Amino acid sequence: MKTRTTIAIFGGLVILAGCSRPKANPAPQATAHGTGLVEVSGGKQIAQAGRQLDQPVVVQVNDAQNNAVAGAAVVFRGPAGVSFNPASGPTDSSGQLSTTVTLGGVAGRYAIRATTTDTGGKSIELKLEEIALGYQQTLGRELNHQYCSRCHDPESTRERVSNYDNLTTKPHAFTEGDTLNKMSDADLMAIISHGGPALNKSPEMPPFGYTLSKSDIHAVISYIRAVADPPFHSAGVVYAKD
Amino acid sequence: MSPGEQIGSLRRKLFGDPARAFGSISLVLLVMLAISPAKNFFSEWRHYQKGYLKLVRTRADALTLQRHFSPGFQQIWLPEMGAVDRCTTCHVALKETSLSDVGAQPYRPHPPIPHSLTQFGCVVCHIGQGAATTVEEAHNSTKAWEQPMLPARYLESSCGQCHLGPLPGTPQLNLGRQLIARYGCVRCHTVMQPDGTRMMATDDPPSLEHIAEKTTREWIYAWIKNPQAYAVTASMPNFQLTDDDARDVSAFLMEQSRPLPAIHTQAAGKAGPASPDATAGASLYGESFCASCHAVQNAAGALVGGDLGPELTRIGSKAKPEWLEAWLRDPSRYDPDTKMPHYRFDPKNIATLAGFLEAKTDSDLLADVHLSEATPAQVQRGKALVAEYGCASCHEINGIKKPENFAPELSRVGSRSLAVLAFPEGVPHTLPDYIDAKVRNPRAFGPGLKMPQYTFTEQQRSAITTSLLALTDRAQTQPPALRTAAVHESNYRPAGKAGRLMRDLRCFSCHAINGRGGDMAPDLSWEGSSVQRPWLVEFLKNPETLRPALIRRMPRFNLTPDEINTLTDYMMVVYQTPTVDRDSMPVSSFTPDLVEQGRQLFYSKYACQSCHIVDPKKDKGYIGPALWSVGARLNGAWVYAYLKDPQSMRPGTLEPNQHLSDGEARSLTAFLMAQKSARQAAKK
């Protein structure tokens, strides 16, 4: 009975996560082994829950001299609902393996692990973190693109020039968890609604309380919380369970 | 004892005499009667409810949570939506936001959404079998239930059942709908929206009635074999024609083409030979802002330019020189419905620009195309192929009628029964997977299918699937009161001489006025209330960008003074908002004190210089329009109204409403209206 129930709970989780249970992937035959595993790109990406990340996750296997190792076997694993394509494989001639990642259907942070083994068969693990946005955070992200990011994002893109450098008081990027995590939801609500002077800060931050609705501002706050780095702990960060 | 003897002794023990028999049978009966209550007692949902009580027992707010919990079957019944949802029997904590740290289902609270769970239930959005009471039956498809729960990646489709227009929180749904219109899916597939309107395509496939004037048979051959080889951004899909098919279709298309003398009338001789001056051509291409609409691949392979018009990377391999010149002279003579404006180029400029564009060739494109003279049989077969593939659904072609209902209607594709669908190998048996596979590789579904191959990315495909899944039975049949309508484009057409001029200049390709037009440039519906006439005249003579952070995109059309007068007169009089009285705030009413007060507010209290530049030497903000000459550009009453409520004057503007008092708004207006020119600002 107990096993059946456990299976049922697990099945329910998997279905709710909206993805098929990742097939257990046997480690591919390794023709070489490294001593280190590093991230090349693809960590800390933000995507909507249940969707594929924009950029692939790329990891590299290195030997003791930090030279890339080709043909080392790498396996990707993640919590229920996360799927990889491919889920495992040998590294290419530049010592790298690239995989496209689809996140689970529940908003939160997803810890993704890449593993390889050294010559002695010892497992080497690399942990990456990806962020899945729910409905409210997605709405917040859209509002951020429209109203906030021009000043709060120091990076310019082709579509959007950043105003960051023109400001006397530099705004905080929304990923600056060190600062923003210390502000309560009520403080964020106040500064977004009534502008910088509400918290004795710069008037360069204008009030948005007469432009955005209260639920819009809640959405922006939920987005700020979702992308904070280090993660925001209100009641403990929500990791999807293994 | 042998087994036979054992059974015999057991029978004697249980049924040896009437009293024993009675006792044994009663026992059996009791056990049987207990089966049903036991099944109930050990049911999954009871197990989850017990688990929940155990989970909350140790929490700080245990008492509150226990008080909110009601044991037993729970049900949300919504007759008007046809929903009977018992999901809350196990998902007991959907409304308990304090449990947001709980990762395990079924105890997670529902993330915040704009709807009440009690009013909308669960399956309206999540699909699945709401009335079921076991995990398996509720979430998955069973023999009696086809529709499993919707995977999270397609969840936005459920919003689309009621919300027929774009929503800020559903980027996938919005993108999918855009793509369906942009790639002309609805030209073959009819999609009737729940509000009774037909979904319209937003692409602009050209008429082929005069195709031979424009290009060669060789180019047509290469194009229909693989449109993306000519232009990576081509929206025409690949029909995967064989060499013979392409040979015959190109033969027929050339054969059906009719000459178009109109495009040659003013031409011959006047323009002179195409100029090979590449530098002059490139600068004219830049000055004319061709890149606002057309993209060209640069040496690094990146596309530079807009996507309103076709990509021009290899235009020289496609367009005939005489057609290109005629087109630059007046595009509407070849295509009356084109989005391209009629530039008033002089013959020399036409020659320069045509020469510049003609040089954009790709020798590889047509290198392997060798076609011999077409035979009548080939033309005949080409015509049959054109009819078979439904080319006329998108293009006008002489001798072929636009087919009706060429492809299956998709108005209710989101509720299509799986029983009638044929799945190719490897595609999971669910509707979202079916649609996704169909968009990914339509020809895998069997030989003889006509749907062409598109080059969508995984993200685009999943957006398209999302928007198609929104087209459900429920969307069509639910009470109209539940729908929030899409805003449909108006059929506004300006009248008279100015109207003709605006059509000739294709203002609506970029600007919207009174609910019709593009979104590349500002809405002009209230332009007459907003600007001063002399500024508008100067702007049309020589447009400049108002926002330092934006690339200027408005071209100079080389208008005559007469044309400029006609346009400005019309816009100043007709495009007015009733909420602004242009004469209510004359500059003479602003005292120097008021201006100074406004300056204080501008620089200190509201820090407007963060986004706007009044003094080019000192101010740096370049997100909003530059304001050093705003006093010569805008009307005072408009500025006042705008400062009081920016969103009502320009919906969607980035400028936040600062909730100014009337006095503050007046001071700021006075300060802004005192900014007459950059030179004046520099002098201070």
The closest of A78, A18, A10, A85 to A49, measured between CA atoms, is A18
Sort out which chain B residues have CB atoms less than 8 A from A206's CB and list them.
606-607, 610, 656, 658
- For A52, nearest residue in chain B (alpha carbons): B459
Same domain as B317, residue B230 = yes
| A56 interfaces chain B, CB cutoff of 8 Å | no
In this structure, are B263 and B196 located in the same domain? no
Asked if residue B155 belongs to a domain, the reply is no
By C-alpha distance, which of B455, B406, B415, B405 is closest to B435? B415
Instruction: Clarify whether residues B468 and B505 are in a common domain.
Output: no
> How close B624 gets to chain A, by Cα (Å)?
10
Confirm or reject contact between A107 and chain B (CB < 8 A): yes
CA distances from B297 to B314, B318, B365, B621 (A): 9, 16, 15, 32
Q: Quote the pLDDT of residue B269.
A: 47
Q: pLDDT of B70-122, one tens digit each?
A: 988 899 998 888 889 999 999 998 888 888 878 788 898 898 888 988 889 99
From the candidates A5, A15, A133, which should be mutated to test the interface with B, based on the most B CB atoms within 10 A?
A15
**What amino acid occupies position B569?**
D
CATH of the domain at B330: 1.10.760
User: Which residue has 């100074």 as its token pair?
Assistant: B596
- Inside any domain, residue B447: yes
Residues B372 and B461 in one domain: no
- Distance between A9 CA and the closest CA of chain B, angstroms: 7
In a domain, B163, yes or no: no
What's the CATH number where B622 sits? 1.10.760.10
A163 CB within 8 Å of a chain B CB: yes
Q: What pLDDT is attached to residue B256?
A: 94
Query: In terms of CA atoms, which chain A residue is nearest residue B457?
Result: A54
Do B627 and B672 meet the contact criterion of CB atoms below 8 Å apart? Answer: yes
Look up the CATH number of the domain holding residue B469: 2.60.40.420
Are B152 and A208 inside 8 Å of each other by CB? no
Q: How many residues does chain B have?
A: 684
> Which of the 8 DSSP states describes residue A197?
G
The beta-carbon contacts of B173-179 under 8 Å, at least 24 apart in sequence, are B173/B463, B173/B466, B173/B467, B173/B470, B175/B460, B175/B463, B175/B467, B176/B463, B176/B464, B176/B465, B176/B466, B176/B467, B176/B468, B177/B467, B178/B202, B179/B456, B179/B460, B179/B463, B179/B464, B179/B467
Q: Is residue B401 part of a domain?
A: no
Cα–Cα distance between B91 and B64 in angstroms, integer? 17
What's the rounded Cα separation, in Å, for the pair A121 and A118?
A: 5
Mean pLDDT, chain B, whole residue set: 89
3-state secondary structure B212-228: HHHCCHHHHHHHHHCHH
Task: Give yes or no: residues B236 and B361 share one domain.
Answer: yes
With respect to residue B387, please indicate whether it lies within any of the assigned structural domains: no
CA distance A170 to A64: 42
- The helices-and-strands tally (H runs, E runs) of chain B is 32, 6
Same domain, residue pair B88 and B142: yes
B70: which 2 tokens? 């009601």
Q: How many domains, in total, are found in chain B?
A: 6
Cα of B459 to nearest chain A Cα, Å: 7
Domain membership flag for residue B161: no
Q: Give domain status of residue B395, yes or no.
A: no
Task: Quote the radius of gyration of chain B (alpha carbons, Å).
Answer: 35
For B25, phi and psi rounded to 5 degrees? -65, -40
Give all strands (DSSP E) within B293-346, no chain letters. Answer: 295-297, 303-305
**Start-to-end Cα distance in chain B:** 122
Give the C-alpha separation, A86 to A114, whole Å: 12
Residue count (chain A) = 242
Domain containing residue B675: 587-683
Residues B70 and B131 in one domain: yes
Taking only the tens of pLDDT, chain A with its 242 residues reads 455 555 555 544 444 544 444 444 555 677 788 888 999 999 899 999 989 999 999 999 998 888 888 888 999 999 888 999 899 999 999 989 999 999 988 888 999 999 998 888 888 899 999 999 999 999 999 999 999 999 999 988 877 888 888 898 899 999 999 999 988 899 999 999 999 999 999 999 999 999 999 999 999 999 999 999 888 876 444 444 44
Q: Same domain for B81 and B190? A: no
Best CA proximity match to A56, nearest among A88, A103, A98: A98
Residue in chain B nearest A208 by alpha carbon: B656
**Residue B347 and residue B230 in one domain:** yes
- Looking at the fold, whether B270 and B372 belong to one and the same domain comes out as yes
Instruction: Give the minimum alpha-carbon distance from A114 to chain B in angstroms, rounded to a whole number.
Output: 23
* Predicted confidence band of residue B499 (pLDDT cuts 50, 70, 90): very high
- Shortest Cα distance, chain A CAs vs residue B682, angstroms: 19
Q: How much is the pLDDT for A64?
A: 86
CB pair distance less than 8 Å for A9 and B105: yes
pLDDT digits 0-9 by tens, B115-158: 988 889 999 999 999 999 888 899 988 888 888 899 999 999 99
Above 60 in pLDDT, residue B35?
yes
Q: Which domains can be identified in chain A, with CATH numbers?
A: 2-133 (2.60.40.10), 135-227 (1.10.760.10)
Query: Across the interface, which of A105, A219, A235 has its CB nearest the CB of B152?
Result: A105
Structure tokens at B37: 């209550």
**B139 and B78 in one domain?**
yes
B386 is a domain residue: no
What is the predicted ipTM?
A: 0.85
* B324 and B299 within one domain: yes
pTM for this entry: 0.87
Task: Tell me what pLDDT residue A144 has.
Answer: 94
Q: Is A151 on the interface with B (CB under 8 A)?
A: yes
